[in-house]
Structure 1
Amino acid sequence: MNPAGRASDPSAASSPRPLRRLIAARPVAAFLVIAIALTWVALILSIALLGNAVPGILAELLILLGTAVLVTRTADGKPGVRSLFRQTVRWRVGAGWYVAAVLALPALTVLVAAATGTFHQPTDGWATLAGSYLLNTLIVGALLGNIWEELAWTGVVQRRLMERYGLLTGSLLTAIPFALIHLPLAFADKGFGATAWPDVALAWGVLLVFAPLFRLMVGIAYLGTGQSLLIVALLHASFNASEQTKLAVFDGAWQQIAAATVLLVVLALLRKFRTLTAEAGHGAAVAG
């Protein structure tokens, strides 16, 4: 008997609450609703009240991480959370993946700039530029930020969508909310009142072009490395560190997108080649 004198109902006590059942049944939808809503609030308040998007971006990382753990814990239990975090330290992949994740994008960006006549020598020399790039990629980017961001986007959202719809469709579906959550950043430099709408439209247009390319590139890297979020984080950080304001050796803003497109094509072709080779090997084994 309970204090009220009524018999306890074991089935009612053990049954999950409606909200938990909803999250467990629709983990991706639950993640997107919670993470995007809270991130928008954080970014908008940060830009409007502080005139600086950095506090909002830091809050976004905490929101993404917290929501990823909440959704995974509810849907998959503690083993699912442990599996998710193990992917962040999955470092035993081929050396080529580290080259692709850390060096390919800046090298391709410089080559695109050189081929199009928009390249110029670094003001402070190549050694300073290389040190700054590695700091922004390995420490500021991957370790402090992108590995936790991709734990949420790749480890929770894109993984589930790719398992259900395949690499291409799952990646493109992930690109939609990935772009949506970043829309307020178009106002980061000047604030909501001073940012011209043509500038906003341009920023949003670049984001909408970039997001599908990037999520597909991430999907190929994630599957190709056996679900290594470490490589995905390095790739994300490398892209961020290859932009004009950090890799200051070219004029314009499109070379980075062009370089990412080239890398995506190369990774897709390599993935196709490996698939065909594996199928041929399997067919030969069966025939033998």
Structure 2
Amino acid sequence: MEKRNSTSDFILLGLFKDTRPHLFLFMVVLTIAIASVTGNTLTILLIHQDSRLHIPMYFLLSQLSLMDLMLVTTIVPKMAANYLTGKKSISSAGCGLQIFVSLTLGGGESFLLAAMSYDRYVAICHPLRYSVLMNWQLCWQMTLGSWFLGAADGLMQAAATLSFPYCRAHEIDHFFCEGPMLVRLACTDTSVYENVMYICCVLMLLIPFCLILISYSLILSAVVQMRSTEARKKAFATCSSHLTVVGLFYGAAIFIYMRPKSYRSANHDKIVSAFYTIFTPLLNPLIYSLRNSEVKGAFQKWLGKCANINHE
């Protein structure tokens, strides 16, 4: 079988076909992506500008929004350009960049969600010691650690994936370069790499997930012992948004990276990938803003300022 040079372009078959129903779906997805970019950008700006939100909890939320924003802007513009122009090619460097960014943000978000669960644990179980147990130094260390671990995983897998020789038929049945899809095109035995990648993804997901389970087990134990019904409701309200985001993130990640190879389908992978790269980044700011009175208050304050400027 003929092999191609690793610097040649890949072909992304995309998510949509050239039909009217698919054009409508494309417009829906593009609208959701624009709303996602707007929502996450607004969340970052609100947290940055409102002094009441300058606490570790909201700083971590702003980092989550930044990761979601970067994910959408890395994937969607290329997908939209390929669909609108009909040019479905992507360079080897561009493909590597998409793999690196998506894995960096995926791994980083996994550890960031663990950091957010620890923040909730301290706030509920040790409220009087919050400023000591969740100080800014620790907050920055957890945030930088999340970015670093995600970047290390992304760099390693992107470099390893692009090091394989690829066959002449280098069409990727996806709308962006994703490691598991690209490896299928390799003209060499990739079983060792796939096993290592599988173990790496499991560790990147399960270690933070175990930390999240421990945090919420301790939170649940503390909530059960609370005598005040109002205190219980407040605790559950504080944690429900984060638990919803955790469920969305890990549900999609487990489906993509932790399924056995025999159960994988290109169409299913594309749908789930669209969910976590486009839809989930929109849901995250909505979940936190609609369930959080302080974020809603900051948004109303911002709207008030905008209204006063327009009147003037």
TM-score by length of 2: 0.28
